[in-house]
Amino acid sequence: MDAIISTDALAAFCDRAAKFDFVTVDTEFLRETTYWPKLCLIQAATDDEAVLIDPLASGIDLTPFFALLANPEVTKVFHAARQDVEIFVKLSGKVPVNIFDTQIAASVCGFGDSVSYDNLVRSITNVELDKSSRFTDWSARPLSEKQLTYALADVTYLRDIYRELRKQVDATKRWDWVEDELGVLRSIDTYVVQPDKAWERLKMKINRPRDLAALKVLAGWREKRAQDSDQPRSRILKDDVLFELAMQRPLTPEAFDKLRAVPRGFGRSSAAAEIMALLKDVEELGKAELPTMPERYRGPSPKGAVGDLIRVLLKSVSEQHGVAARIIATSDDIDALVLDDEADVAALKGWRRKLFGEKALAIKHGRVGLVATRKGIVEFPVAQAEAAE
């Protein structure tokens, strides 16, 4: 089988595809040594044809395909769309219009959390896919027949999966559940990391305002440097190095040499010079200019018994309604609602609040209890006289 390697052939396919209600889409890319994913292959299928598009072909212009992605009359069907969409946002500057993600739909239809494509193919079509080409070098040319066959299967079976999941979502009347999740994929903010927001991705805790100020500027510096040089963040500085620099704030090459997280001699590099200039600015900030730390919570620990009870409730609700637990509430959602009845989390909004959030708050305040039965976990009201706030 041959891939599309010319703009004219691509435009002809896109014209044909625009006449259909949906087109399935997938990509193959490399990212191990770059910040931005390198697009190596595009797969697409309509009801009556499936094609491979070679974005590395000499002279090919992907504009016709971007126009297809922007066509609101055609649903673009992906499985686990986030990375694929990120590639198209980087190349075209826009999020594809009218996206449908089969992984999201499957999670609200009882297939479990983050179900893989091959598992969905097996469950819905009874076909066992050969995934041995998954980790091959997609940038090498020519691509083998085995690679091309593997790649094409990622969009051909996706057609059957899409049709079946649409039926199931219709039958369960859960389109609002799917749409809530798709809203994240449709927002360009999901794919564009602003350097001044980069610190929010970091997981380690900071306890002092000046340390936090330093972490913010360091994370922003690393993000911009990674984007500009197209290198992974970890090749610029690893996360643990950022945290050590934020807390130690070395201002001389000699101070750098005393740190465990950076190699000896790093303090005399151009990168270290930029870091020291940033840290000097942080040291000169007045107290009023430092970021405000969140107030220390002194109530029940979200990792304690109350949080554990709410997690049991989540598992019970998930099983009862046949929807992946992560779609209803994340672990962070549960921690937040234990700390705050009005927490700004998805679990306390819309259909999730009706399904789970109200019950979680009732358990938190002792108005509802849980009991294990042969049929599973059952909720029961607790008399107000017995309720303990």
**Strand, coil or helix: 384:** coil
- The Cα 251–Cα 222 span in angstroms is 18
**Strand, coil or helix: 25:** strand
Q: Which residue has the tokens 């500085």?
A: 237
CA angle at 120 for the pair 52 and 327, rounded to the nearest 5°:
110
For residue 254, the model assigns a pLDDT of 94
Residue 386: closest CA among 373, 371, 367, 370: 367
pTM over 0.85: yes
For residue 221, the model assigns a pLDDT of 98
Residue 151: closest CA among 169, 164, 166, 138: 138
- The Cα 270–Cα 214 span in angstroms is 18
For residue 387, the model assigns a pLDDT of 46
For residue 234, the model assigns a pLDDT of 95
Determine contact, residues 48/162, Cβ cutoff 8 Å.
no
Helices (H), the chain: 7-17, 63-69, 82-92, 102-107, 117-125, 145-172, 175-186, 209-229, 233-236, 239-248, 253-257, 270-283, 305-321, 325-328, 331-339, 350-352, 358-364
- The Cα 226–Cα 280 span in angstroms is 22
For residue 295, the model assigns a pLDDT of 65
| Mean pLDDT per 10-residue interval, the chain, length 389 residues | 93 98 98 95 97 98 98 98 97 97 95 93 95 90 95 98 98 93 94 93 90 97 97 95 95 92 90 96 96 68 84 93 91 92 93 94 92 85 59
Q: Residue 379 is inside which H or E element, if any? A: strand 376-381
For residue 112, the model assigns a pLDDT of 87
